[in-house]
Amino acid sequence: MNPKISIIIPIYNAEKYLYATLDSIVKQDFKDFEVLLIDDGSNDSSAVICKTFIEKDKRFLYFRKENGGVSSARNYGLEKATGKFISFVDNDDYMFPDFLETMINNIDNYDLLISNYLAYQRNEIVNRISSNYEITIGNINNFEETFPQLARGIYTIWNQMYRKEIIEKNHLHFENITHEDEIFSYNYILHCNSIKRILFQGYLHYYNHGSLGNSHKYIANLEVINRLYDTNKKIINKFKIKDESYFNRIHERYGTMISSWILRGYFKDTKTNRCERIRRWKEIHNTQLFNDIKFSALNTRSKFLFFICKYNLYTILDPLINATLRLIQK
């Protein structure tokens, strides 16, 4: 008999924290699951750690593949998954014992369940709120009113539970780009008729110093930002969303992403030459997204950079921005 939940974990050189992550899954109150350990070509002791779990617990299944990145590993896991529901876990995060049980008890007949999560640095003391939570429910008939609240927390995948049937039916998969999890989540939502969101903190995501997700190299390029924006527009159009506060929220977010892409060319670890930096300024100026974003919704940094871009001041100010960030990063 197939398990109720398939937990997919992409693994790459995760020996430092992998044991603790897998141990937190073993200790789940809910027991009807399989764990797909997708080793994406690790060259450390990750495989040895996985072996200790697959030998003790038949629910743990190990697969090794050539290195292809996190999206490739998750897609491989989706191909092998046999559960009714899909849950994703990062190889250095942690599940509280009641996470799966709470999620499975709340998904009911909904197409998607979204929970809150905790995010901490490794050296911080974790404070978890009470397991009591509020519920927001939306369906295709009332998404116009409910989606702005449901949408909080959809940028990540590990705090959500998906239906395998919807993923398979619509041929959904992860792409090998930055923000691959957010794009997957948006594309999945486009095929949802009902969504439930609970303010429950059962998943702990760790920000590890030096990881790719916390480096300037992970800053999305303009192509990815436009992809995210276009997918978000499809959701807005499909669900007929008119909430101004939601629009302001996403305009601030995309404004921040564009600002980060501009500044990426000036940071020490992602620095580009002057010609490339000017090219990026010009490219941004000509995008529909740049012209769509509400200036009033931007934060102070974004307003400053958007002003420079709008009035073509970047050629003059490029040396000043370059010198200022060089001083700050010393």
DSSP count for the chain of H helices, then E strands: 13, 9
Token pair, residue 113, equals 């369940």
Crossing angle of the two packed helices 222-239 and 143-150, in degrees rounded to 10: 140
State the Cα–Cα distance between residues 107 and 135, nearest whole angstrom.
11
- In this predicted model, what pLDDT tens digit does every residue of 122-158 receive, in sequence order? 888 888 876 667 789 999 999 999 999 898 878 899 9
What phi, psi does 176 have (nearest 5°)? -85, 65
pLDDT at 250 over 60: yes
% pLDDT > 70, the chain: 97
Torsion angle, alpha carbons of 223, 229, 235, 238, to 10:
-90
pLDDT digits (tens, 9 = 90+) for 297-306: 999 999 999 9
Strand partners, 63: 38
Per-residue pLDDT reduced to its tens digit, 67-90: 999 999 999 999 999 999 999 999
Please report the domains of the chain, with CATH numbers, ordered by start residue: 5-214 (3.90.550.10), 216-328 (no CATH)
Express each pLDDT in 218-241 by its tens digit.
899 999 999 999 999 999 999 999
Neighbour-count burial of 113, counting CB atoms closer than 10 A to its CB (0-12 exposed, 13-18 middle, 19+ buried):
buried
